[in-house]
Amino acid sequence: MASSLVSARDRQTLVNVVYAAFPHSTFPRGPYERAADAVIDQAGKDPRFLAQLLQGLTDLDAQREVPFAELDADVAAAVLRGADGTPFLTAVVDSVVVTLYSDPEVWELLGYEGPSYEQGGYVDRGFDDLDWLPDPKIEHDEEMTA
């Protein structure tokens, strides 16, 4: 459905917006593309959001002499900072933050094992497996034990 709502160019711009808003140099393109497609799908259910999305992408392209999708990462981030707080960027970020960080591929990349409730919780699954921290020094308070 996503591909029929926006042009290939607008989709590419949105993917770059998602990357500029949530830059992770170790992430492959896939999670960003899926997050952008989720935004487009959401816009397909809300004509107002679709119009806002298309206008916002057009406005981003007009910010520089080259389209947003062709900007280097630093310039793209600066352009997005200029759009911070706009209804367009707020709506995109609100959608993407949920979609991107709910992606199992992203979980794996970040070292998150996923929700614990499906696997019996964290008590028996390493809730205390912070092997990169020193063991805490446990001291007994005389007043507490008396």
Mean pLDDT score across all residues of the chain: 87
Q: Is residue 144 part of a domain?
A: no
Q: Is residue 40 part of a domain?
A: yes
- pLDDT, one tens digit per residue, over 48-83 is 999 999 999 999 999 999 999 999 999 999 999 999
* pLDDT interval class at 46 (50, 70, 90): very high
Q: Is residue 84 part of a domain?
A: yes
* Matching residue, tokens 């092997």: 131
Selection from 70, 62, 3 nearest residue 37 by Cα = 3
- Domain containing residue 26: 2-119
Q: How many domains does the chain have?
A: 1
Q: Is residue 126 part of a domain?
A: no
Q: pLDDT exceeding 70 applies to what percent of the chain? A: 84
Q: Is residue 142 part of a domain?
A: no
Q: Is residue 57 part of a domain?
A: yes
This prediction has a pTM of 0.78
- pLDDT, one tens digit per residue, over 81-107 is 999 999 999 999 999 999 999 999 999
Q: Is residue 60 part of a domain?
A: yes
Residue range 9-15: mean pLDDT, rounded: 96
pLDDT of 2 above 80: no
CA neighbours within 13 Å on the CB side: how many for 2?
18
* pLDDT interval class at 113 (50, 70, 90): confident
Class of residue 62 by CB neighbours under 10 A (exposed 0-12, middle 13-18, buried 19+): exposed
pLDDT of 144 above 80: no
- In this predicted model, which residue has the larger pLDDT, 145 or 90? 90
